[in-house]
């Protein structure tokens, strides 16, 4: 009899409460300050991180090998036979490779490690859909085959007040740089199929960024029904504005403000982020 466990990392931005409700194990990133290191969402909250950003931009590190080992060991002790792990895009972190290496130490578990090729609630949406499939009693192999189709149904768009934090964190990739900041141009950033950042559009000023996100979502809704998760990176005024502008649109099946972007991602985007994870509903 199969017993399937589900693991994700803290970059999926699923709250501790929802993780527990859905029996999802979490691998926390490490947030590294000059005075010590903290486990993402366990020892440091998003609010604590954003407050400290004013005085120090911490570094981040992937979940420790010891932590990954402990989670796998706990799964074995709980009697699981199979495990699915959904990670942040391998283009942004070594988590995917670290988990694959650790899983080789547990031959008693049949393990599938899936690179979500995205992050935050776009990754989180895949995790929650997978949790539902497990609850429905779908087999391990069935779920493994469904995972790539989940990625195809989910897109992510977000905008930030400044590119400073992406630049300092080395995450800027193919997103336009400093000239736009001089002109108050705000990039609308998406995650491409290869799991890296791209600029989807540019707008002038924060209010226009919310309007552009709404416009992008409307273009999806013309093609069918969608769920929306609104991402709050310490930019609540824009978050609430976006929510009000899209929640009642035709073909919106569900619209949720997911809570605050966690420390693992927030250190690279800084305060003022608003975004949208969009999932197609069959």
Mean pLDDT, residues 89-107? 97
For residue range 253-268, what is the model confidence (pLDDT) as tens digits? Answer: 999 998 789 999 998 8
Q: Which of 40, 39, 44, 102 is nearest to 75 (CA)?
A: 102
The Cα 239–Cα 245 span in angstroms is 10
Domains by residue range for the chain, with CATH = 4-28+63-152 (3.40.50.10440), 154-281 (3.30.1180.10)
- Average pLDDT for the chain: 92
Task: Give the model's pLDDT for residue 134.
Answer: 98
Residue 149 DSSP symbol: H
Residues in the chain: 282
Looking at per-residue confidence, does 147 or 178 come out higher?
A: 147
Mean pLDDT, residues 47-68? 93
Task: Give the model's pLDDT for residue 176.
Answer: 53
* Structure token pair of residue 10: 């803290």
For residue range 138-151, what is the model confidence (pLDDT) as tens digits? Answer: 999 999 999 999 99
Quick check: 112 pLDDT over 80? Answer: yes
For residue range 180-217, what is the model confidence (pLDDT) as tens digits? Answer: 554 567 889 999 999 998 989 988 877 899 999 999 99
Residue 178 confidence class, pLDDT cut points 50, 70, 90 = very low
Dihedrals phi, psi of 245, to nearest 5 degrees: -80, -15
Looking at per-residue confidence, does 70 or 166 come out higher?
A: 70
The Cα 88–Cα 86 span in angstroms is 7
């Amino acid at each position: 009899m199969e017993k399937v466990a589900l693991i994700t990392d803290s970059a999926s931005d699923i709250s501790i409460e929802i993780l527990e409700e859905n029996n999802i194990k979490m691998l926390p990133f490490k947030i590294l300050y000059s005075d010590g290191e903290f486990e993402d969402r366990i020892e440091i909250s998003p609010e604590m991180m954003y407050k400290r950003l004013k005085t120090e931009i911490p570094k981040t590190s992937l979940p420790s090998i010891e932590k990954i080992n402990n989670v796998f060991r706990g799964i074995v002790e709980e009697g699981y036979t199979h495990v699915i792990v959904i990670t942040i895009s391998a283009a942004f972190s070594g988590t995917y490779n670290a988990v694959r290496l650790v899983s080789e130490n547990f031959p008693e578990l049949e393990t599938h490690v899936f690179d979500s090729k995205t992050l935050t609630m776009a990754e989180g949406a895949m995790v929650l859909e997978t949790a539902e499939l497990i609850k429905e009693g779908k087999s391990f192999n069935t779920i493994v085959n469904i995972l790539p189709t989940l990625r195809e149904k989910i897109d992510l768009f977000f905008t930030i007040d400044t590119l400073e934090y992406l630049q300092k964190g080395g995450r800027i990739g193919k997103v336009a740089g400093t000239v736009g900041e001089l002109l108050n141009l705000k990039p609308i950033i998406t995650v491409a199929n290869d799991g890296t950042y791209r600029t989807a559009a540019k707008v002038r000023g924060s209010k226009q960024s919310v309007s552009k996100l709404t416009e992008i979502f409307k273009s999806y809704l013309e093609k069918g029904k969608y769920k929306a998760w609104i991402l709050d990176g310490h930019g609540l005024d824009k978050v609430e504005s976006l929510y009000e502008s899209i929640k009642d649109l035709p073909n919106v099946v569900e619209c949720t403000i997911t809570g605050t972007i966690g420390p693992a991602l927030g250190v690279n985007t800084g305060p003022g982020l608003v975004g949208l994870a969009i999932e197609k509903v069959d």
